Amino acid sequence: RKEVEQDPGPFNVPEGATVAFNCTYSNSASQSFFWYRQDCRKEPKLLMSVYSSGNEDGRFTAQLNRASQYISLLIRDSKLSDSATYLCVVSRSGNTGKLIFGQGTTLQVKP
Partner 1 sequence: DTAVSQTPKYLVTQMGNDKSIKCEQNLGHDTMYWYKQDSKKFLKIMFSYNNKELIINETVPNRFSPKSPDKAHLNLHINSLELGDSAVYFCASSPRGMYNEQFFGPGTRLTVL
- Under the binding rule (CB under 8 A), the answer on residue 32 touching partner 1 is yes
**Applying CB under 8 A, which of residues 28, 68, 81, 94 lies at the interface with partner 1?**
94
Is-contact 85 106, C-beta < 8 A? Answer: yes
- Under the binding rule (CB under 8 A), the answer on residue 87 touching partner 1 is yes
Is-contact 88 4, C-beta < 8 A? Answer: yes
Report CA 30 to chain centroid distance, whole Å. Answer: 15
Q: How far apart are CA 43 and CA 94, in angstroms?
A: 25
CB of 19: closest distance to partner 1 in angstroms? 19
Q: Which of 79, 1, 73 is nearest to 33 (CA)?
A: 73
Nearer to partner 1, 42 or 110 (CB): 42
- Under the binding rule (CB under 8 A), the answer on residue 101 touching partner 1 is yes
Nearer to partner 1, 18 or 26 (CB): 26
- Under the binding rule (CB under 8 A), the answer on residue 97 touching partner 1 is yes
Burial of 40 (0-12, 13-18, 19+ CB in 10 A): exposed
**Applying CB under 8 A, which of residues 21, 64, 86, 104 lies at the interface with partner 1?**
104
> Where does this chain bind partner 1 (CB under 8 A)?
31-32, 34, 42-46, 49, 85, 87, 91-101, 103-104
